Amino acid sequence: MERTNLGRTGLQVGVAGLGCGGSSRLGTRTDKSRAESVTLVRQALDLGVNLLDTAARYGTEEIVGEAIAAVPRDNVVISTKARLHEDGAEAPHPPTALVEGLEDSLRRLGTDCIDVFHVHGVLPQHYEHARQNVVPALLAEKDKGKFLHLGITEYASVDTGQTMLVRAVEDDCWEVIMVAFHMMNQKPRQRIFAHTRRHGIGTLNMFAVRDIFSKPARLSDAMRALAADGRVPERFATIDDPLGFLVHDGGATSVIDAAYRFARHEPGVDVVLTGTGDSDHLRANVASILKPPLPAEDLATLRELFGDLDGVGLDPPNPASRS
Ligand SMILES: NC(=O)c1ccc[n+]([C@@H]2O[C@H](COP(=O)([O-])OP(=O)(O)OC[C@H]3O[C@@H](n4cnc5c(N)ncnc54)[C@H](OP(=O)(O)O)[C@@H]3O)[C@@H](O)[C@H]2O)c1
């Protein structure tokens, strides 16, 4: 596995990371047994993945804990999160709730120190509370050695213009951020990565594939709607396989292969998360992330066609598995 620096954290991470949330949640939301989910995490480690991203919300921390129980702790980078608010609630949680969440995560993961602890899915209206009240409380826990690096993740399907992250990257307390960036959502290049690269903030890329590139009908519907709004050329309203131009000799082998490679080679992306409950998908996705960039002419076409789109393909999680 190719390794890289996670920003200025000093952590060396594989460029492919395992997402233990999303719609798949390691298969716990589909047909997989707990033992199969544990095996999937171990398969990722065998493939050279060392960063595992989970969250209290996903219900997969115990699975990660079981999978890494016999692994030397230094061989794994654990990223986990505590929510700042519950869906539908106006008020965010007080700092004590996140400190308790940190303790619960440590217990479920079976470790005494988490590598990256994030404030999870922060809405713009809660950011100042996070910065002023939650950060000092969490940094006190960091000083006690409960975690190593503080992170923040966006609520991409709600904050589609990324106003929270645009604000957060101006502050120096966040050592890692998690950001939605993909072939049809390229705006983070200017508004996020320009800042994270300058300040050495580590980046975890989510939504590289999500629904829009894994469900052909979802992509066709999105293209029809964008064409109707004049946001992509009219011909995309009727093309059956709108991103088929990426699949050719010397190019990508599939739209999913293209999507992971696109994210992986974006300057400013440290780790591309792949979220799956399927062992064959995991193997294929890690292989895609390790492949070379897409051909320059395909990248230019993606930029020309989709570079100005904003807020596209930021699919909310499957209702059964909010992440
Ligand atoms: N705000 C936040 O903090 C937040 C929000 C969202 C996500 N995340 C993190 O980011 C991670 C990545 O996001 P994501 O889980 O949405 O991952 P993703 O890799 O962008 O997309 C995963 C989706 O694509 C499907 N898929 C993956 N590989 C495939 C393949 N080779 N062929 C066909 N379908 C394939 C998966 O289904 P299968 O199971 O069938 O493979 C799943 O439905 C999450 O797991 C979570 O750790 C964080």
User: How many domains does the chain fold into?
Assistant: 1
User: Does residue 171 lie within any of the structural domains?
Assistant: yes
The residue whose CA is least distant from atom 41 of ligand 1 is 276
User: Does residue 283 lie within any of the structural domains?
Assistant: yes
User: Does residue 314 lie within any of the structural domains?
Assistant: no
pLDDT in tens, 89-127: 889 999 999 999 999 999 999 999 999 999 999 999 999
User: Does residue 315 lie within any of the structural domains?
Assistant: no
Share of the chain above pLDDT 90, in %: 93
Ligand 1 atom closest to Cα of residue 154: 1
The residue whose CA is least distant from atom 36 of ligand 1 is 276
Q: Which residues line ligand 1 (CB under 6 A)?
A: 19-24, 53, 81, 120-121, 153-155, 178, 206-210, 214, 256, 273-278, 281, 284-285, 323
pLDDT band at 240 (very low <50, low <70, confident <90, very high): confident
- Whether residue 190 is predicted with pLDDT greater than 60 in this model: the reply is yes
SS (H, E, C) the chain: CCEEECCCCCCEEECEEEECCCCCHHHCCCCCCHHHHHHHHHHHHHCCCCEEECCHHHCCHHHHHHHHCCCCHHHCEEEEEEECCCCCCCCCCCHHHHHHHHHHHHHHHCCCCEEEEEEEEECHHHHHHHHHHHHHHHHHHHHCCCEEEEEEEECCCCCCCCHHHHHHCCCCCCCEEEEECECCECCHHHHHHHHHHHHCCEEEEECCCCCCCCCHHHHHHHHHHHHHCCCCCHHHHCCCCCCHHHECCCCECCHHHHHHHHHHCCCCCCEEEEECCCHHHHHHHHHHHCCCCCCHHHHHHHHHHHCCCCCCCCCCCCCCCCC
User: Does residue 22 lie within any of the structural domains?
Assistant: yes
Ligand 1 atom closest to Cα of residue 207: 20
User: Does residue 206 lie within any of the structural domains?
Assistant: yes
Average pLDDT for the chain: 95
Mean pLDDT of 240-254: 96
What's the domain range around 219?
3-306
Say what the pLDDT of residue 318 is. 66
User: Does residue 27 lie within any of the structural domains?
Assistant: yes
User: Does residue 321 lie within any of the structural domains?
Assistant: no
Q: Which of 181, 254, 281, 315 to mutate to test the pocket of ligand 1 (most atoms within 8 A of CB)?
A: 281
Say what the pLDDT of residue 322 is. 45
pLDDT band at 31 (very low <50, low <70, confident <90, very high): confident
Say what the pLDDT of residue 90 is. 83
Looking at residue 172, which CATH number applies to its domain?
3.20.20.100
